[in-house]
Structure 1
């Protein structure tokens, strides 16, 4: 089957998605099988790279299954607010972070509440959301409010009211010092990992300017290739496009690099179905306006044209 897939690549410029499918096949056929944190089990390999050219508005949306890019965009915009509570996401019907607080609620209260009921209560009850909807200092908190401590006397330290806004710093450095090698947004705050519902998987972003083009690179320490990658690749490309617009640059490349890249053993149906499909078509992103700041974008500012994916493929999330 997979030899037949490879023989179909007769185009002069192979579809970018073959990089993804080849990686999926390598992991499923040759990956190291192990028991992971979730207990589900994975097949994995260490170290992989996928590149995508963002020229002409092109965006890395998988076509061998439907990717819900608006959900991924809402998540990225939520990160940029610095929020760590799932309430704003649940209010928009975005449930990709709900399983972690839901699992904690069930474990600590013994109540076997359904996810829909839990999400509804998060939205309707602010006090309940404050108690049970917070994820700890995850992505957005580190991006725009990395904690800073200063001496307070008697050998004590106190936390400043406002931490480091890495996102604003990157915007400023791209504008004023584009040749810098320090255009970095980091999520891996070692001192706060234990307080996070899930330590950051897409942990380090670096940006690079060359000939007026902005490229973004993501290092992802842990990647669920079957489910998570599609959102991670989209978000990398979208953040790069937003930064480029804010800084008067053209989009360059989105470069994704994975550390432990894996497929869950209970995703066999997803893997086989996706490897039986052939990528086709190209998606382009239109950004309808240029807000005053990187934090001013709204979901209505984005539209995608030319995206005609094959049907969605469902698979369970390992918590």
Structure 2
């Protein structure tokens, strides 16, 4: 039965990378086993979601991150105040590097939560995902040869209008890879390009991810891409179709051996579904309370360190 479970393709990818991936020195210094090019496909019909069951995935954390992206905010404080920890390591590492103060991660996060001015100075990640999604910068050429800043482009809002008014377009894209601003980002976008496709009354999504941490990151990425597709489909009166995930450098960290071996010993169980409880006025008005997951009975969580 497990061989027919949609999650089996994720486990097969993990097993293939761990057994046959090329061992490489990476940016973090930890080391990875890596393959180039991978694909997973998930049918989102009837509420189905690619929510991994062989370890517990905190889907509310991933959802809060996606909703944060849609605000265009790039400071971790709103996430910290909601108990979301996934972006904390990057500004903490930057603070220690810049100031030399050997403050613990926990104490740093506490200061972010309690001190708004401190958070404004040290909690910003630069123009990461949300900034590019809803406020891509533009510059206008002037006759004197200089450029002046123009209005930002809300790619998400334009996507919604495009899906409604020109469903056959091949330009239904959200792009995060702004070459001119990569050096200002705490982390250049990993899940960088989303393309949507209308087939009859169904909305499909292809996500291309340039770099993918399969053990820790991919379960979140699959959930978030599927959730965004579900939200968009609701907003434009379509049914959710298929999520196609494609990975570039698709890897496992060498210090995640315990997680990988434990997870590969488990069998997928259950078929979780998502119900969106109401239809907000726009794609930007969803709240965490609008989402309810059913039939999610995962194995226990498996902790592993994040590579920064």
- TM-align CA RMSD: 0.9
Q: Distance in 2 between matches of 1:185 and 1:174?
A: 12
Q: Residue 298 of structure 2 aligns with which residue?
A: 309
What is the alpha-carbon distance in structure 2 between the residues aligned to residue 304 and residue 182 of structure 1? 31
Where structure 1 has 5 or more consecutive residues not aligned to the other structure, the ranges are 1-7
C-alpha separation between the residues in 2 aligned to 1:230 and 1:40?
21
The aligned counterpart of 2:287 is 298
Q: In structure 2, how many angstroms separate the alpha carbons of the residues matched to 1:195 and 1:215?
A: 32
Q: Distance in 1 between matches of 2:67 and 2:125?
A: 16
Tell me how many residue pairs correspond in the alignment.
308
What SS does the aligned partner of 1:295 have?
A: coil
Q: Secondary structure at the match of 1:296?
A: coil
Task: Give, in whole Å, the separation in 1 of the partners of 2:99 and 2:126.
Answer: 19
Give the aligned partner of residue 203 of structure 1: 192
Alignment partner of 1:147: what SS?
strand
> Within 5 Å, which residues of 2 pair with 1:16-95?
16-95=6-85
In the alignment, what sits opposite 1:127? Answer: 117
CA distance in structure 1 between the partners assigned to 2:291 and 2:266 by the alignment:
28
1:5 matched residue in structure 2: none
**1:235 matched to which residue of 2?**
224
| Contact 2:2 2:268 (C-alpha < 8 Å) held by counterparts | no
Equivalent pair of 2:71/2:284 in contact (CA under 8 Å): yes
Confirm or deny that 1:249 pairs with 2:274.
no
Distance across 2 between alignment mates of 1:280 and 1:90 = 32
What is the rounded CA distance, in whole Å, between the counterparts of 1:89 and 1:159 in structure 2?
A: 29
Task: For 2:244 and 2:169, locate their aligned partners in 1 and report how far apart those are by CA, in whole Å.
Answer: 18
- Give, in whole Å, the separation in 2 of the partners of 1:302 and 1:116: 30
Runs of 4+ in 1 over 3 A off after TM superposition: none
The superposition leaves residues 202-234 of structure 1 with CA deviations (integer Å, 9 ceiling, x where unpaired) of 000000010100011100000000100000000
Q: Corresponding residue for 1:3? A: none
- Summarize deviations over 1:276-314 as a string: whole Å, max 9, x none: 001110111011110110000001111101000000001
Residue in structure 2 matching 1:149, options 139, 144, 162: 139
How big is the shift at 1:152? 3.6
Unmatched tracts of structure 2, length 5 or more: none
Distance change >3 Å, CA 152–CA 57, structure 1 → 2: same
Aligned to 2:91: 101
| Structure 1 residue 284 corresponds to structure 2 residue 273 | yes
